[in-house]
Structure 1
Amino acid sequence: MRRLMYDITQRIACFGLFCYYRDMKLYGYHKVPRNKAVMFLANHQNALMDPLVIAAFTPFRTYFLTRADIFVNPVVNQIFRFLRMLPIYRMRDGRDTLGKNEEIFMGCVRILKSGGYILLFPEANHNIMRKVRPLSKGFTRILFAALDQDADLDVLLVPVGINYENASEFPDRVAFYFDDPISSRAFYNKDDIQGSVTRIKQEVSEALQRNTTHIAPDEEYAEKLAYLDSLGLNYLDPSEAREALAKYPEKRKEENRTKRSPLRSILKWIFYLINAPTIVIWRFFLKPRILEVEFISTFRFAYVIFVQPLFYILLWWICYTQLNALWGGLIVILHFLLSLFYVKTGSSRSG
């Protein structure tokens, strides 16, 4: 029953994400073997949306490690654990909570020893900036514990580069790049733990930078980002970003920016008009309460997937009472298709 409920939830998430994102691409996940322990290591820009896309659109029944403070509510805690999300405690959660990580780490070791899949974010926090930040060594602790307990085990490390067109805006586009699996045994030396940590972190970091729009150094970040924006860069293609950054600082090309067509503007206002009740609640009452920009997309998606079905039920009921059931159904379908058309043809500038 639990597996059935998970599969149903996964299908609902797939449909919701299809309606939410203008475009989603996942490259290279077919290279991941099905019969070996795998540790996915991804950059982290967009809170819970990062693991959600992987959970919904890949065939792997993956466990996800995420920050413990989102598990505080008992109901949310049960939902997240059902979705195979495991809490990781940080110093900001209280020094006395750090001991709980040992149980989580050992649980991850058991998953890997049984040939399972785990997704971790080795940057150890999220940030909407287009860059790969220094990696924490926390994931190597889990990895080395698994390798020490089973001499025949070779956990495959799969770096995953996550790229958003505009992570906090709507409608957005996203592309995931799964790099070639890396043999952890090839970099692990039990007699040189610190050296092993350094080698593995460097290998994973370089792979993430290849598969992500990576803007460095920090002191030039704003200037380089403005330069890429001026080129109208496709942020879903890391290779295009690398080529453009290699030419920096050539003259910006502001004239290359795509101009919004009149038809596009009309469609935007139609979308705003027919969805006015839900948009007003989001824009003026919910969005201002979100303190971290990285969580905007997560809360927006949760809001839409919960509220929009209720909106359609109410719309159908109103049409049913004023007209009839058939007209109510037709109006709901037309509303849905118009909204979906806007999402699939839109740009990430609509809030």
Structure 2
Amino acid sequence: MWIIHLHLRLHYFSFKIQQTCSMFYPIAKRFAKVALGVYFRKIYLANMDSLPTDKPIILAANHPTAFIEPIILACWMDRPLHFLARGDLYVSNLLLRKIYDWSHMTPIFRLEDTGYSNLKSNYGTFEKCYELLEKNKILMILVEGRTCHEKRILPIRKGTARIVFGALEKHGDMDIHIVPVGVNYTNSDNFRSVAMIEFGEAIRATEYTQLYKEAPAKAVKKLTNEIGQRLKKNVIHIENKKDDAFVEKLFGLKENETDGSFLPVSSPKNDLLHSQKKIAEYVNKLSDGDKNKLKENINSYFEKLKKNNLSDFGLMHKNYFSLKNTIFLLLGFLPAIFGYLTNILPVWIGNSLAKKIAPAIEFRAATAIVFSSFAYLIYGAVLYFTGYKMGFGWRVFLLLLIPLTGYFYVFYSDIYKKWKEGKKAAKCKERILKEILEERKMIKKMVAGL
């Protein structure tokens, strides 16, 4: 009897562990959504509502950061998101393996990361992908195969097409939708930057079934090319790396003409993305002579701004230097300082660890967000348990007050920076402002999309 009793206890204990682990994804999703809402000033998610609700979906995305893009999509999509992630981390640590499993991550092993020894493990990865698609799940694949912090699309790997056809071979003619997802950032490494994500037109795998039966290699190549072509429509693509710096200045001019509201954090709009795409496409087509002339005008404009201690944002938004904003900044100073002082420690810990462990620009922001979030949870727990003499009610109040005032500080800081730049423009001589604005208008006339 005691053996049966022990077996039942172990079975119950195992069930409870599985139940607890299954809660990891929804809980982590809520924390991550808050963290991303603080880190990014705005997250644009265009055409996400066009995704089919009852079909197997592969989200074929580009890969400008280590893992911010899958986290954003996981947080804002209603259906759970499964995605492929680097396998070298999976094999290196037992805890990481559990986190992979709980977070719906499936390891993919690349030769350059793990060598030949783990490549055979990809058979299990492919089987997992087939199983997910057969169950009408959403699978995200970063189709470039490597991360690159640049505003250009890289060659698309054939792995996505192979997974599609492997699933069709194993489970028959499933109606798999391959949806290109363009992931773009104003600058993902900068706090309070903007994320711009656009879902493109879906590719139906059934359109390639017959070709795959006749010529598998040709079908894989054709589908891969189609994924690349459709993805490129949703990605900002600067052809020449030498143009990156001055094209970024053009992007800034367009962004500064918009004054995005603080809330809500997410928006379905794609205006900013499309205008930046038009600017990049225009520059890509310019001759070297026209490009040099445009660079001269841009450099002249920004030199005049610098000479007069102005910014392009301030020039466009003098109205931020207003009585209303001045009163707000005066009244909100003490709550903002409290929010800063009570929240800076976990943020500093997260940023310091990120710079030390993952100094590469592609990884820095993502790891800083993750480390800061974990540090924040530990920080909150320490405050709660060390303040036991305060009583339960006061401890709960404090744990609510600290993050709320921290978020208020972020809002306050945004307003202060805009107020400060608006003040500089408002105090500048009208003659100088008109002269600089004329140069800006001339640049706008030269560039399509501005």
Shorter-chain TM-score: which interval? 0.7 to 0.9
| 2:312 alignment counterpart | 257
Question: Is 1:95 the equivalent of 2:162?
Answer: no
Identify if the C-alpha distance between structure 1 residues 66 and 324 changes in structure 2 by more than 3 Å, giving closer, same or farther: closer
CA displacement at 1:184 relative to structure 2: 1.8
Counterparts in 2 of 1:112 and 1:333: CA distance versus 1, 3 Å: closer
Aligned match for 2:233, one of 210, 227, 247: 210
The letter for the 1-side match of 2:94 is P
Deviation of 1:3 (Å)? 4.2
1:172 is matched with: 193
Instruction: Verify: 1:73 aligned to 2:93, yes or no.
Output: yes
Deviations 1:130-151 (Å, cap 9, x if unpaired)? 1211101111111111223344
SS at match of 1:153: coil
Kindly tell me: are residues 344 and 88 of structure 1, through their superposed partners in 2, closer, same or farther at Cα, counting changes over 3 Å? farther
AA in 2 matched with 1:47: A
- Checking the alignment, whether the CA contact within 8 Å between 2:354 and 2:371 is kept in structure 1 is no
TM-score relative to the length of structure 2: 0.67
Structure 2 CA distance, aligned partners of 1:38 and 1:15? Answer: 26
User: Could you tell me which residue of structure 2 aligns to residue 144 of structure 1?
Assistant: 165
Give the match for residue 196 of structure 1.
219
Map of 1:160 onto structure 2:
181
More off after superposition, 284-293 vs 100-109: 284-293
Distance 2:341 2:38 in 1: 18
Residue 41 in structure 1 maps to residue 60 in structure 2: yes
SS in 2 for 1:303: helix
Q: Is the 1:231–1:257 contact (alpha carbons within 8 Å) kept by the matching residues of 2?
A: no
The 1:344–1:87 alpha-carbon spacing in structure 2 relative to 1, beyond 3 Å, is farther
**Equivalence for 1:294:** 362
CA distance in 1, matches of 2:387, 2:206: 63
Mapped to 1, the partners of 2:219 and 2:272 lie a distance apart of 31
TM-score when scaled to structure 1?
0.84
Distance 2:185 2:254 in 1: 17
Q: Superposed, which structure 2 residues align to 1:214-293 within 5 Å?
A: 214-229=237-252, 232=255, 237-248=272-283, 249=291, 250=294, 251-252=297-298, 253-254=301-302, 255=305, 257-259=312-314, 270=337, 273-284=341-352, 286-293=354-361
Cα deviation for residue 120 of structure 1 reads 0.3
CA distance in 1, matches of 2:124, 2:150: 32
Partner residue of 1:15? Answer: 34
C-alpha separation between the residues in 1 aligned to 2:59 and 2:107? 17
Q: Give me the whole-angstrom Cα distance separating, in 2, the residues matched to 1:171 and 1:227.
A: 19
Q: Deviations over 1:37-75 (max 9, x none)?
A: 111101111212211111122122222101112222101
| Equivalent residues of 1:210, 1:239 under 8 A apart | no
What is the deviation of 1:85? 0.3
The 1:21–1:344 alpha-carbon spacing in structure 2 relative to 1, beyond 3 Å, is farther
Contact 2:347 2:376 in 1 (8 A): no
Q: Please state how far the C-alpha of 1:336 moved relative to its aligned partner.
A: 2.2
Indicate the SS of the match to 2:52.
Answer: coil
RMSD over aligned Cα, in angstroms? 3.3
1:337 paired with 2:404, answer yes
CA distance in 2, matches of 1:8, 1:315: 21
Structure 1: which 5+ runs fail to align? none
Q: CA offsets per residue over residues 86-105 of structure 1, 9 Å max, x none?
A: 11111121112111111211
* Deviation, structure 1 residue 81: 1.2
Q: Of Structure 1 and Structure 2, which has the larger fraction of its residues in helix? A: 2
- Quote the residue 1:128 is aligned against: 149
Partner of 2:15: none
> Cα deviation per residue 1:295-344 (whole Å; 9 max; x = unaligned)?
112211112211123334545677776x7776665555443223213435
Equivalent position amino acid for 2:51 in 1: V
Q: Secondary structure at the match of 2:190?
A: coil
The AA in structure 1 aligned to 2:107 is P
Which of 42, 64, 82 is equivalent to 2:102? 82
CA change 1:282–1:307 in 2 (3 A) is closer
For the 8 Å contact 1:122–1:139, the answer to whether it is kept is yes
SS at match of 2:173: coil
The answer (yes or no) to whether the contact 2:350–2:372 under 8 Å persists in 1 is no
- The question of whether the paired residues in 2 share the 8 Å contact of 1:22 and 1:173 is answered with yes
Query: What does the per-residue CA deviation read over 1:238-289, in whole Å, with 9 as the maximum and x for residues that have no partner?
Result: 211122234434332535622498978x97x946544443344345555233
Q: Which runs of 5+ in 2 are unaligned?
A: 1-18, 259-269, 284-290, 306-310, 418-450
Relative contact order higher in (CA < 8 Å, ≥ 6 apart) = 1
- Between 1:14-23 and 1:237-246, the stretch displaced more is 14-23
Alpha-carbon shift at residue 128 of structure 1 (Å):
1.3
SS of residue in 1 equivalent to 2:313? coil
Q: CA deviation at 1:15?
A: 3.4
Distance 1:223 1:187, change over 3 A: farther
Alignment check: 8 A CA contact 1:213 1:237 kept: no
SS in structure 2 at match of 1:146: helix
Q: State how far apart, in whole Å, the 2-side matches of 1:337 and 1:195 are.
A: 56
SS of match in other structure, 1:131: coil
1:258 counterpart letter in structure 2: F
The amino acid across from 2:375 in the alignment is V
